Amino acid sequence: MRAIDRKVVETNAPYFDEVTYNIDERDLHIARSYFPYHDAKDKIIGILIVYRDITDLKEKEKSLLAARDELEQRVDERTRDLSILSESLIVSQERLDSVLTGAPIILWAIDTQGVITHCEGSGLKSLGKEAEFLVGKSIYSLFPGNSVIQSATRALSGESFKSDGSLEDNYFESHWSCLRDDEGTIIGAACLTLDVSERKRTEEALLQSTRLGDIVAMQQEIQAAGYDSQKIMDIVVRKANDMTGSDSASLSLVEGDMIIGRAAVGFSRERIGVPMPIKGSFAEHVFSVMGTQLSNDCDDDTRVNKQLTRAAGIESMIMVAVRHMGRTFGVLGAFSHRKNAFDDRKAKALELMGELLAASLSQAQDLDEKTRAIASLQLTEKNLIKARAQAEAAAQVKADFLASMSHEIRTPLNGIIGMTELLIDTPLNEEQQRYARIVQGSGNGLLAIINDILDFSKIDAGKMEIEESSFDTVLLVESQAELLAVKAKDQKLSLMTYIDPAIPGHLLGDAGRIAQILLNLISNAIKFTKVGGVTVRARLLSMEDNIASVRWEVMDSGIGISKETQEKLFTAFTQADGSTARRYGGTGLGLSISKRLVDLMGGKIGIESNEGEGATFWFTLALPRGDDSSRPTIDLDLSDRRILVVDDDPFACEVISGYLREWKGDVAHVESGEKALRVLRAASDSEQPYHLVMIDRRMEHMDGFELARHIKMDSRIDPCKLVLVTAFDGPGQARAASDAKFNAFLTKPVKKLELRQAIGSLLKSVVEIPNEAAAPSALDNVLANSSHARILVVEDNTVNQMLAVQQLKKFGLECQIANNGREAWEAVKREDFDLILMDCQMPEMDGYEATVRIREFEMGTGRRVPIVAMTANAMREDEERCRLSGMDDFLAKPIKKEKLEAKLKLWLLEFKQSA
């Protein structure tokens, strides 16, 4: 027995699957349905397998029809034999005896009281009784069934008839007639009984074959209907009506707590679509057992809604659940106007049709759902394409607007910032200097906002590119803190940095973008902190396969942020609340850009804060290890040195002590001058003196200068080196430190390299390395030797022309002015230049076309003058356009002195070397 057959037999439940065959290099997809096949006692005698292959089904149908014809022929032959035998009984006793001994026949005779007077025939074997046992006994007591009593009574009343019945699990066909004496008086009855059990089984098999053929034909019709649910339901209801011999049939589907008619035969079409409550109906009992319910007397059945059945004239009904793979569709019913119209065989046939219907509806519904899903996806895709086109158009409009806005603002801003730089370099009194610094700060603030907006636009348009290069992890953090050290000093805030020594010296990543994030976070921290300080820390979270997971933190003691508003902080143009924006200024755009940049680099960013308790902004990135070969190293060993750190700022103590311990120093720290004196005295008394004391400038009760004087004057304290550490390096600080007998002077944020060099020099524990920066490079001497250089400035704005002339004059350089690209082109054709500073957007001829023409002209001269774009167009695509036109470098307005100086040195040196 196959595994599938065994499963159907063991579970007594249908089984469905799908297989694919390859016939003549063609795949055929066949749905197979396995149903347990039962006899009248509900015993499994086989398995029905339905294949959805029309050719195979027709072949099976032909075989079944041939078997049916053969069986019918055999039945007809047997019936003719019986007729011949019956006639022979009258004609010849010998013939009768022969038949009685050879055929499964019983010849009975009873008197008027029902007592058996004669009994013979081989059919007695079917009853398992002997003739001697039966003779003399009442037929009514031996066979108390109603059918025997009724048949005997009819025969004794003078009727002659044929009846069918069953005894001892066998089927019999009986021919009754009354017995009369010569005077015609009824003296008893005779019965010729034929055991037709074999014929009945043959007929049952034939009936099942016929039903199978009908089911096969129905399956073919369903297949031809495709996946049209309504056609499938109409086919099954019609076949159910035919196969059960009912007067009507219907299919109702479940919708909530109602069933609604969807197909019917023998009912008015008006019933289709009419809902009926499940509760209180015959269907409720079907669903309660999820099986078949049969009633052959509706008037005497409590399960039946008699109001409905009487109105429709229904006396008998079968109803089965239409259910497949846990999904219930509804109920299939057959109805008759006669009582006892249905039996278990018809119920089984209806069950089989219900199962086939459920499987077909399931496939149809699945296809319908898939079709609707595909249609929905297609509509969604169409809408998305349309929305994307609209978004791209809107993004382009926005990008064009931002580029135009940036250009229009940068052009006058170049004059404001540039002229202010020139003004500050002139002799001004204190008040004038302050006013000029305010203008400069306002211009730089406006420039920062413009740059933020452009960055945000780039990210929003998906044009932000992340670069990867090796960078120094310590220098990255310290340089950003140094940029804001003056701002922190102006607000009297402490600013400290600490880089975990476990972090590799160099990492691979976009150092510029990481620096941008740090600068924004440090600037915000300083802005929102009134008292205390800001600390910047980088620490290693993990190191796997040369990938360092690093967490950067910026901690402040500022106003803090409530939990409710923290989630909104990384949204564009959002701050903690409106009062914060009014009080501290800013757009809130920087944090949004920082988050987008961190996301682009595959990291995470967040905040830890409570309102009024300061905040810690952090971000994490996973970066590959970089090349450490170019990193300067100093062999610093403090393993035999004792160092005391004196600072009332716990984090400052932690940072400095951490670096000293990294170099194996024996480090202790205290938070006040008084404690420092006690510790130093105790150390000297125990003959374990400190070699170095690092002292903060500002502390309560006793400041750094006063502590230094006490140390120098206290004879109990052994001589030691003193280092002053301060966040306030105003005029005279270095002289004051020297006068107070300090051996070295460091400013916060303390840089790791400076700390290492200072301590190494004081304690003679360092191997000095050459300071490459001390030797003047070729670049440093370029401008001094280029006073005769011929520079052409191409600019249409008179203010920017004046600015360029003055900026170049500051560097000892002269220049010639061209008002547009055409004048520049003509000038290049007349004379040679060492460098051209080219604006891009100008009347008559822009900088791009002028550059193209200049490069074409140069092809015949063998010369190539460096051209540096000097434009208010600051987008990446603007820089690429400049280079494509033939320009060599790019300067975005507003142009600051140090940036211009770097470009001048680079290209004047390049030109001289090439010349």
- 98 versus 11: the higher-pLDDT residue is 11
pLDDT > 70 fraction of the chain, expressed in percent and rounded:
81
Q: Let me know: does 705 contact 736? Beta carbons within 8 Å.
A: yes
Poorest-pLDDT segment among 126-140, 686-700, 765-779, 877-891? 765-779
Check if 1-52 and 642-768 are the same fold: no
Question: What's the CATH class of domain 642-768?
Answer: alpha beta
| Residue range 861-875: mean pLDDT, rounded | 86
pTM of the model as a whole: 0.48
- Burial state string for 427-451 with b = 16 or more CB within 10 A and e = fewer than 16: eeeeeeeeebeeebeebbebbbebb
* Residue 106, pLDDT score: 83
pLDDT > 90 fraction of the chain, expressed in percent and rounded:
24
CATH superfamily, region 466-624: Histidine kinase-like ATPase, C-terminal domain (3.30.565.10)
Closest CA to 847 of 883, 875, 816: 883
| Residue range 670-683: mean pLDDT, rounded | 93
* Residue 334, pLDDT score: 93
Report CA-CA distances (Å) from 390 to 384, 462, 745: 10, 16, 62
Residue-wise pLDDT for 734-744, tens only, equals 778 888 888 88
Closest CA to 32 of 2, 66, 68, 62: 2
| Residue range 163-169: mean pLDDT, rounded | 68
CATH superfamily, region 1-52: PAS domain (3.30.450.20)
Angle between helix 798-810 and 897-914 (nearest 10)? 70
Closest CA to 903 of 838, 818, 829: 838
CATH 3.30.1330.20 assigned to domain 779-914? The reply is no
Closest CA to 915 of 826, 788, 730: 788
- Domain range annotation of the chain: 1-52, 74-202, 210-367, 466-624, 642-768, 779-914
Residue-wise pLDDT for 626-668, tens only, equals 887 655 555 688 888 999 999 988 888 888 999 999 899 999 9
In terms of average pLDDT, the best of 22-26, 570-574, 869-873 is 869-873
CATH superfamily, region 74-202: PAS domain (3.30.450.20)
pLDDT bin (cut points 50, 70, 90) of residue 681 is very high
Residue-wise pLDDT for 317-336, tens only, equals 999 998 887 788 899 999 99
- 348 versus 73: the higher-pLDDT residue is 348
Report residue 111 as tokens: 């008197």
Residue-wise pLDDT for 418-451, tens only, equals 788 788 778 877 777 767 776 776 777 677 667 7
Closest CA to 509 of 542, 539, 549: 549
Residue-wise pLDDT for 577-613, tens only, equals 444 443 333 445 778 888 888 998 999 999 998 888 8
- List phi, psi (to 5°) of 714: -85, 115
Q: May I ask the CATH architecture of the domain 210-367? A: 2-Layer Sandwich (3.30)
Closest CA to 905 of 811, 837, 775: 811
